Amino acid sequence: MLERFYPDVYIDNIFLLPLDEFKKRGIKALVFDIDNTVAPYDIAEADEEIISLFKFLKEQGYRLCLLSNNNKKRVEKFNEKLEAMAVYRAGKPGVKKLENAMFDMGVTKKQTALVGDQVFTDIYCAHKAGVMAVLTKPICNRDQLVTKVKRGLERRVLKAYQRRMAK
Ligand SMILES: [Mg+2]
């Protein structure tokens, strides 16, 4: 029952993306959550490290997309120097915007991985859409209140997941 919240891969941060696994699976498009996945939610602009990472991934041939439930201003400002595809008010865990983004990038669900920090929005969304689900640890503890409430439940899901992986 909890499986729909379990990631396919769990990483500490986006600089540890499982590129070998992506290659093995034929992943061609990477869809990133922004807040607490790529940057703290209160940092408006992408920093040099993120810009370099996105540049590197593009050079590796990946199509890149930001998919955020946050508003237009936040997403467009953050994407300014990244020049990825950018989708705001994505309505995750709803899959409609993700499916539109995959269509626009010309990739299938099997060729797509979603990278995010929240089990109940990002990972659930990825599974519903049938794309690879990559969970990162949240970048920092400065969460918006509604997110804070979810973290407690999230920890319980992740404990169950880790027990499963240890078997
Ligand atoms: Mg997030």
**Alpha carbon of 99 to ligand 1 centroid (Å):** 19
Name, in order, each residue with C-beta under 8 angstroms of 166's C-beta and a sequence gap of 6 or more: none
Residue 166: Cβ within 10 Å count: 6
Q: For residue 47, report the distance from its CA to the centre of ligand 1, in Å.
A: 17
- CA dihedral in degrees (18, 49, 117, 110; nearest 10)? -40
Q: Which residue has the tokens 């400002």?
A: 77
Q: Please tell me the distance between residue 1's alpha carbon and the centre of ligand 1 in angstroms.
A: 23
DSSP-based three-state secondary structure for 62: coil
Q: Which two tokens stand for residue 135?
A: 């969970």
User: Per-residue confidence of the chain (167 residues) as pLDDT tens digits?
Assistant: 788 899 999 999 999 999 999 999 999 999 999 999 999 888 999 999 999 999 999 999 999 999 999 999 999 999 999 999 999 999 999 999 999 999 999 999 999 999 999 999 999 999 999 999 999 999 876 666 666 667 777 888 888 888 888 87
- Which of 123, 125, 126 is CA-nearest to residue 137? 123
Cα gap 25→137, rounded to integer Å? 23
Domains and CATH numbers, the chain: 2-166 (3.40.50.1000)
Output the CA 116–ligand 1 centroid distance in Å. 6
